[in-house]
Structure 1
Amino acid sequence: MKRILQSLMLGSCLALTQGCVAKSNSFTFTADLPPNFSYVASVYYVPAKGQTCTVPRADNLAPQFNREWRTEYKPDAQIEIRRTRNGCDLVVHHVDLEINAVYGQDWGDFGRESARVSVREELPEEDKGTFNTAGESEFSGQCQWLFRTVGGLRRIVKILDCKKSDASGAPLKSRPFAAYTLDQLPGKAVRLKIKLADEERPAIGDTWVKVPGGWKRCMGDDFSDQYAFCYGNYKDFSTFRMPDGQSCTIYPGCTEDKEVTP
């Protein structure tokens, strides 16, 4: 009897000519990310359709995967689709994703962006993610580093900016996003694929000048001028500090190439 109950709890049985196969109650989320990138997934549940019950937030906390992303990162997360709390049948509603990317050695030298997987009972066909014959679905995004300077030494810090990509790989205006219905997900795999843009760009306009080999930082009034807009002065530039402490004159190469004359 115990074995029968356990089988029932795994999911519904599909009647097949060769027997009965338990339907999975989970799907795999995974990600293909650039080097030094990782994700944290938080999974949120709501009462299933037709349920009149409610569950206090304290009894319906969102499971997290890769919470300790700096030290215990794993690319695959096995996400439960249906669960019961306080006698209330719940279904997965969405998965919030934090995309973290490290660019230096200090604890704060990282950028963070967001993405999401939404799950609904029903969706228009054009809004549903699609799966291949192997049961895999992929949605894509492109991330780009935006750089700026802070502090009296004008230390470089970076901001991560991620956008959803279309079928050709071109970035769109929205964050990486995909949506599925509940009946699409059992036993399937959903993959987020992120590409890093080849070039970085300034986070704030009119503060850097594009030159051969990179960018030069406008001086502004002096080093105490934290905004230091160029305001048409494209001759007076300042040094800045890289995350590793180097004093530099051009980003990202640090030092300008000097032509050697005979």
Structure 2
Amino acid sequence: MKWKSEIAVVACCLGLVTGCSTGQPDTFTFTADLPPNFAYKAIAEYVPAKGETCTVPGGRNTAVGYNMKWRESYTPNSEISMYRTVSGCPLVIRRIRLDINASYWTHRGDFGGDSAMVIIRDDLEEQYKGTFSDAGESTFYGHCQWLFRTSGAQRRIVKILDCKAANARGEPERGHPVSGYSLDQLPGKTVKMKITLAGEERPYMGDTWVKLPKGWKRCMGDNFEDQYAFCFGNFKDFSSFRMPDGRQCTIYPGCTE
């Protein structure tokens, strides 16, 4: 039966059966081409192989993390196993959940993040499958932009990272960056996520900043303590704000007019 042969292949790759070989590697490489000060964090998730009725108690240890401490130790290339066995249950990779993280200043909290995903399913329709070059590499794209706002009593600048799917020209599309593959596409191949960054930032929330020839000015709102500080048509009264590096400024991003 077909499902028995599929289980046999999984068992070979897991080393559960000796004297057999699929003739293919049981890993693939995930990598990323990212802007400066960006890093990814990945979690590869596994489920019982097709035809298996076993379960892993509590679902424990069915995921493997990469670059989990991306601030201290980061590498763009991650070698990902297609198969694992946990608590005696043969597992196969199902998806890779990705966090795209980027630092905009030196404090630990001065970073933004968004998500992406690689989906691995044998029942994917052809139109949703990634394609590979002759060199064995498949690339999917994303486009990120910094959104700025003020926060706290000092109106300190903080930034939010917004990432969208993109085409090969880097033009943003709907949804988050994502790509899909069937299991048989992946042995020995490389999947790459390529992210571009918008050249200009924009406000996180509408009607809070006013665009002038030299940059953005922050509307005052009711007073300096007004945390929302919507403009509401008042384009004359503006407030100062504090940059992440501590500078007191009146226009963003140039600081002084």
CA distance in 2, matches of 1:250, 1:196: 22
AA aligned to 1:104 is: W
Task: Quote the offset at 1:107 in angstroms.
Answer: 1.1
1:189 aligns with 2:190: yes
Superposition TM-score, scaled by structure 2 size:
0.91
* Residue pairs, 1:15-34, within 5 angstroms: 22-34=23-35
Task: Quote the offset at 1:136 in angstroms.
Answer: 0.2
Which stretch of the first structure deviates more once superposed, 162-171 or 228-237? Answer: 162-171
CA distance in 1, matches of 2:55, 2:16: 23
Task: Quote the offset at 1:121 in angstroms.
Answer: 1.8
1:225 alignment counterpart: 226
Is the 8 Å Cα contact of residues 14 and 85 (structure 2) preserved in structure 1?
Answer: no
Superposition TM-score, scaled by structure 1 size:
0.89
Which stretch of the first structure deviates more once superposed, 74-83 or 57-66? Answer: 57-66
CA distance in 2, matches of 1:133, 1:97: 26
Q: Give the SS at the match of 2:15.
A: helix
2:92 alignment counterpart: 91
Task: Quote the offset at 1:59 in angstroms.
Answer: 3.7
1:146 alignment counterpart: 147
2:41 alignment counterpart: 40
Is the 8 Å Cα contact of residues 10 and 25 (structure 1) preserved in structure 2?
Answer: no
Is the 8 Å Cα contact of residues 27 and 79 (structure 1) preserved in structure 2?
Answer: yes
Task: Quote the offset at 1:58 in angstroms.
Answer: 5.2
2:15 alignment counterpart: 9
CA distance in 2, matches of 1:8, 1:160: 39
Q: Give the SS at the match of 2:207.
A: coil
Q: Give the SS at the match of 2:132.
A: coil
Closer, same or farther: CA 61–88 of 1 in aligned 2, 3 Å: closer
1:122 alignment counterpart: 123
What is the CA deviation profile of residues 94-144 of structure 1, one whole-angstrom value per residue up to 9, with x for unaligned ones?
000011100011110000110000101221110100000000000000000
AA aligned to 2:209 is: W
AA aligned to 1:220 is: G
Q: Give the SS at the match of 1:63.
A: strand
CA distance in 1, matches of 2:188, 2:77: 14
Considering only CA atoms, is the larger Rg found in Structure 1 or Structure 2? 1
What is the CA deviation profile of residues 209-239 of structure 1, one whole-angstrom value per residue up to 9, with x for unaligned ones?
0001210000111111010000000011110
AA aligned to 2:15 is: M
Task: Quote the offset at 1:55 in angstroms.
Answer: 1.0
Aligned Cα root-mean-square deviation (Å): 1.9
What is the CA deviation profile of residues 232-262 of structure 1, one whole-angstrom value per residue up to 9, with x for unaligned ones?
0001111000000000011011111xxxxxx
CA distance in 2, matches of 1:7, 1:117: 21
CA distance in 2, matches of 1:248, 1:232: 22
User: Which structure 2 residue ranges, 5 or more long, are not aligned?
Assistant: 1-10
1:51 alignment counterpart: 52
Closer, same or farther: CA 235–89 of 1 in aligned 2, 3 Å: same
Is the 8 Å Cα contact of residues 29 and 189 (structure 1) preserved in structure 2?
Answer: yes
Task: Quote the offset at 1:8 in angstroms.
Answer: 8.4
* Residue pairs, 1:144-183, within 5 angstroms: 144-183=145-184
2:7 alignment counterpart: none
Which stretch of the first structure deviates more once superposed, 245-254 or 60-69? Answer: 60-69
1:66 alignment counterpart: 67
1:246 alignment counterpart: 247
CA distance in 2, matches of 1:122, 1:230: 51
Query: Quick one: percent identity of the two aligned structures?
Result: 60
Count of aligned pairs? 245
What is the CA deviation profile of residues 127-185 of structure 1, one whole-angstrom value per residue up to 9, with x for unaligned ones?
10000000000000000000000111100000000000024422112000000000000
Q: Give the SS at the match of 1:126.
A: helix
Closer, same or farther: CA 213–9 of 1 in aligned 2, 3 Å: same
